[in-house]
Homo-oligomer: A and B are copies of this chain.
Amino acid sequence: MWGKRDDMLVHERDPFNAEPPRAALAGRRTTPPDTFYSRNHGPVPDLDPAAWRLTVDGLVEHPLDLSPADLRERFDEHEVAATLQCAGNRRAGLAEVRAIPGEDPWGPGATSTARWTGVRLADVLAAAGLRPEAAHIEFAAPDVSRLAVPPQPYGGSITVDKALRPEVLLAWAMDGRPLPRVHGAPLRAVVPGWIGARSVKWLTRISARAEPSDNYFQATAYRVLPPDADPAQAGPDDGIPLGPIVVNCDILRPDDGARVPSGPTEVTGYALAGGDRTVARVDVSADGGRSWTQAALDDGDSPWTWRHWRTTLDLPAGEAEIIARAWDSAGAVQPESPVHLWNPKGYANTSWARIRLTCT
């Protein structure tokens, strides 16, 4: 479906929600489009590029109405390597603690990396002339979600501070080729370091506002609610609205549940810091966290990508649990247990990564 590899783990076909298996992400700095996770809240729009326009309005001096050619001709092209990660990444670990009805049990594969090409959102906003009272930039798209309350097109917003940063793009290409339709053609937002939900696909409108977007996916969903909250009753005053990502990691090889020969075993994975932080260290343990081995980290293709890590553990025969945790550049480290992170919508599972192995 949608040009994806055959071994994608498809959580839903409509809306299309699918992630690659761990092995497909392992050892690859960028994730090919056929492997990149796909998170959708409604049907995938089929926009005619010849008719498509981007409207820029709201708290701006000069509203804009831009064609694809306008975007390419009026603004400098930029490329940014960036990892996107769904706020529901690793939800499966929370769902093991307590059921999370109505939400897909994403594994660690709702995290993927590409080189994105387009124009800087900051340049487009400068052309429109942001008014001083603009504090948030709203993205709107035409994909109507029946899951929203009430049903509505997908949307969301980011702060002006973030919107003006050079890494935030309006992108028309992914790894040097035109965006596939399922990834947002003809134009999508790419907001590195923030939850994937803010990298809105099929962009048709950008509005400068004094307040965050009123869209359901900003004002109600994508919030860490207290454990005893009823998500059906939660509104804009409840919970922690998610924006910047928090440091996280997972193990990609061996696969969870694998049988491996005992003895020296290479363990690899990814870590992502999020926000404006970078990954500083990854620790791996085979004894429940009593002792840790520091993994070797690759450089990452930019400050906005994951860093792959690897280490070798000497595993005795028998059952083993391998744990990994990442530290960010501010010295924050992942908390231990998903038990204490459980929340009704199952977001932000930043607990230690764990896989079980049978060593023979």
Contacts and interface: CB of A to CB of B under 8 A. Distances in A.
A257 interface: no
Contacts of A1: none
A330 interface: yes
A337 interface: yes
Interface stretch (A39-47, A135-143, A199-207, A241-249): A241-249
B330 A242 contact: yes
Given A335-B334, A336-B335, A336-B337, A280 B240 contact: yes
Given A227-B292, A281-B226, A294-B226, A246 B331 contact: yes
A245 B330 contact: yes
Contacts of A281: 226, 240
Contacts of A332: 246-247, 332, 350
A224 interface: yes
B330 A243 contact: yes
A289 B329 CA distance: 28
A77 to B, nearest CB: 22
A336 B330 contact: no
Interface in A304-360: 327, 329-337, 340-341, 347-348, 350
A224 B292 contact: no
- The main secondary structure of chain A at its interface with chain B is loop
Interface string A230-262: 000000000010111111000000000000000
A90 to B, nearest CB: 13
A330 B275 contact: yes
Contact of A246 (B224, B274, B292, B330): B330
A244 B330 contact: yes
* Most central of A240, A334, A341, A350 by chain B CB within 10 Å: A240
A244 to B, nearest CB: 4
Contacts of A341: 333
A47 to B, nearest CB: 32
A337 B335 CA distance: 9
Contacts of A340: 289, 333, 336
A202 B256 CA distance: 55
16 contacts: A226-B292, A226-B294, A240-B280, A240-B331, A243-B330, A244-B277, A246-B331, A246-B332, A247-B332, A274-B330, A275-B330, A289-B340, A332-B332, A333-B341, A336-B337, A336-B340
Smallest CB-CB A-B distances: 4 pairs: A335-B335, A246-B332, A331-B348, A240-B280
Interface of A: 224, 226-227, 240, 242-247, 274-275, 277, 280-281, 283, 289, 292, 294, 327, 329-337, 340-341, 347-348, 350
